[in-house]
Amino acid sequence: MAFQVGDTVIIKDLGRRALVTAVLPESHYQVEYLPDPAEDPVERDSPMPADEGGVYLVDDLVPVT
């Protein structure tokens, strides 16, 4: 599965929601983690600071439906 910038995904190993911020070569994606909606429903779709994220392979991500 391919993702686009702006897609919301779940990182399989962490179970954490994230926003795709960049599509990188070789099926890698840069993401910014999103706050847990159970903790703060108002902020659930706002990315956290840029240092709160990472780069993941496409197989490590699941689309949010």
Tens digits of per-residue pLDDT, 41-55?
Answer: 555 555 555 457 899
Cα pseudo-dihedral 23, 61, 38, 34, rounded to 10: -20
Structure token digits, residue 7: 């897609």
pLDDT at 36: 75
pLDDT at 11: 95
**Average pLDDT of 18-47?**
81
What distance in Å separates the CA atoms of residue 1 and residue 27, rounded to the nearest whole number? Answer: 10
Pick the closest to residue 32 from 45, 18, 46 (CA basis): 18
pTM of structure? 0.79
Residues whose CB falls within 8 Å of the CB of residue 33, separated by 6 or more in sequence, listed in order? 16, 17, 18, 47, 48, 52, 53
